[in-house]
Structure 1
Amino acid sequence: MATQPIERKPEWLKIKLTTGENYKELKNMMRTKTLHTVCEEAKCPNIHECWANRTATFMILGDICTRACRFCAVKTGLPTELDWQEPERVAEAAEQMNLRHVVVTSVARDDLQDGGAAIFAATIRAIRKRLPMASVEVLIPDFQGDQASLQVVLDAKPDIMNHNIETVERLSDRVRSKAKYRRSLELLQRSKRLAPGIPTKSSIMLGVGEDWSDILQTMDDLREVDCDIMTIGQYLQPSLQHLPVKAYYTPEQFATLKEEGMKRGFRHVESGPLVRSSYHAHEQVQSAHQS
């Protein structure tokens, strides 16, 4: 299917800005607790909608990533932060927000032996202690393929194990820094083998040069490793230093991709121009457990 030539953002990518009391309260809470969110650091287009609805994705292990992926707005460099009090502050914030579903992600920390797995596990346990009825989703880096690190996170029993494939195999080396397409698939497969009761999830962004057959092949690859949930969204260039947008996909094309994914056996597919990995995450976990 043809995609729209790159000129300017189409109408369906216009974002409604909402800065009501919930948004302001959340922003203030993140600052006072010295917490980071991927909503802010990665310049997510849904931040106003999600924060107005009192949902946020916590980003642990600091705000400096050891990788420099060409699509990502998060700062890169050599991290200095390793805060063992951070899990408790995340749990306090989640409790204060009275969340039903908590999403926790991180920067890549290749400088740490376990890639930050112990902090992930501590955060899951701290949330469980304060919010025993809430579900917890983790969006983890690849831990450089280390199975022991993955096991540490799985032992804390998250409700959803999320790791993003990000793009199609043909473009992976150009788009992602240090990450490997096949290593990401292996992580998802290993997670399912080690903890078959925990649904797995992955995400792909469109508009970096892939074609339709590439996308369908990625779906097939994810289903081959029994991935349960897939999210599909439009890549938006965060700055002139990042990859340019090659094409904008229409809402109709995203709808078709949702159908293609469901035909392949995913329990849930979230597909749309502004969809990001944790967009409508609570609905995704409900769908995954009901299927």
Structure 2
Amino acid sequence: MTVKPSWLRVKAPQWERVGSVKEILRDLGLNTVCEEASCPNIGECFSAGTATFLIMGPACTRACPYCDIDFEKKPKALDPTEPLRLAEAVKRLNLNHVVITSVNRDDLPDGGANQFVQCITEVRSISPKTTIEVLIPDLCGNWDALAIILEAKPEVLNHNTETIPRLYRRVRPQGDYQRSLLLLHQTRTIAPWVYTKSGIMVGLGETDSEVRQVMQDLRSVDCDILTIGQYLQPSQKHLGVQDFITPELFASWQFYGEKIGFLQVVSSPLTRSSYHAEQVQELMTRYPRNITY
């Protein structure tokens, strides 16, 4: 068994607060990526009363060997009550910023775009001051579906590139690196006011120069925000960790990212794509963009 270095240790959560968040999620029949993807920050986030909601799941139509979300179950028909239940959870948790993500639903013509829209609409109705971030799949390159999501005007559009191009076939076999970059480019074209965001995980065998090239590629499509975190193996059946990246190297990537023009770079061993996502509100104050609802 691989021994994790000291910098990957997490603080024990406040289980009373964790339990109250879980109780709300169970009461409303909602899934979170925190639980489904075995996120190491679940204790901290739940203790703080935050969660990243996983819609249209928990079964996924893709089988990425790094991900702990179930792909063996058959995806179910979309639940029309899910958006309202999600909005109620946002209200009960009193969230200032909410992240809504989904499994891949390649079985749906729009990839689930309209379900995202309904979730955004319901949250806006019940919690109009809550800022909304959507972490979306690649929609199989369906830019009409992307436009549908952007018409609902989330403040942040997040799509993870996940890894370097050389490792895509092994890490993300049903994904396409160029398609992910194009999605972010299309987002900027369709909705220039939105804050675009992407994330990669490291420790799968990439080199420092390859990580920096991905950062340059993301800036070439005017991506605003970048997250970089350590990949951790969810189980023995998943891809193994090749390297534990030091905090110093993470810090150097943050410095480089800010140097080449990202508005925000969150880079540390425990960073995940929605970890401390609420910090985007500070960014929106410093770099305001005009958006009319």
Q: Which residue is equivalent to 1:146?
A: 142
Q: Which residue is equivalent to 1:243?
A: 239
**Does residue 286 of structure 1 match 2:282?**
yes
Cα RMSD for the two superposed structures: 1.1
* Corresponding residue to 1:48 among 43, 52, 63: 43
Query: Could you tell me how far 1:288 is from its partner in structure 2?
Result: 4.6
Structure 2 CA distance for partners of 1:289 and 1:200, relative to 1, 3 Å: farther
SS in 2 for 1:238: coil
Q: Which residue is equivalent to 1:214?
A: 210
Distance (Å, rounded) in 2 between the aligned partners of 1:27 and 1:11: 28
**Does residue 179 of structure 1 match 2:175?**
yes
Q: Which residue is equivalent to 1:74?
A: 69
8 Å Cα contact 1:160-1:285 kept in structure 2:
no
Residue identity (%): 50
Q: Which residue is equivalent to 1:197?
A: 193
1:150-170: per-residue Cα shift (whole Å, max 9, x none)?
011000000000000000111
Distance (Å, rounded) in 1 between the aligned partners of 2:270 and 2:65: 19
**Does residue 36 of structure 1 match 2:27?**
no
Report the AA paired with residue 11 of structure 2: K
1:220-251: per-residue Cα shift (whole Å, max 9, x none)?
00000000000000000001111100000111
Query: Runs (4+) of structure 1 moved beyond 4 Å?
Result: none
1:110-159: per-residue Cα shift (whole Å, max 9, x none)?
01111100000000010001111110000000000001110110000000
Report the AA paired with residue 161 of structure 1: L
Q: Which residue is equivalent to 2:21?
A: 26
Report the AA paired with residue 272 of structure 1: S
Distance (Å, rounded) in 1 between the aligned partners of 2:138 and 2:53: 18
SS in 2 for 1:189: helix
8 Å Cα contact 1:18-1:49 kept in structure 2:
yes
SS in 2 for 1:144: helix
**Does residue 15 of structure 1 match 2:10?**
yes
Report the AA paired with residue 67 of structure 2: C
Q: Which residue is equivalent to 1:158?
A: 154
Distance (Å, rounded) in 1 between the aligned partners of 2:152 and 2:16: 34
Q: Which residue is equivalent to 1:3?
A: none
Any gaps of 5 or more consecutive residues in structure 1? 1-5
**TM-score, structure 2 as length reference:** 0.96
1:177-229: per-residue Cα shift (whole Å, max 9, x none)?
31100000000000000000001000000001100110000000000000000
**TM-score, structure 1 as length reference:** 0.96
Query: Could you tell me how far 1:289 is from its partner in structure 2?
Result: 4.7
SS in 2 for 1:209: coil
Distance (Å, rounded) in 2 between the aligned partners of 1:88 and 1:56: 16
Does 123-132 or 21-30 show the bigger shift?
21-30
Q: How many residues align?
A: 286
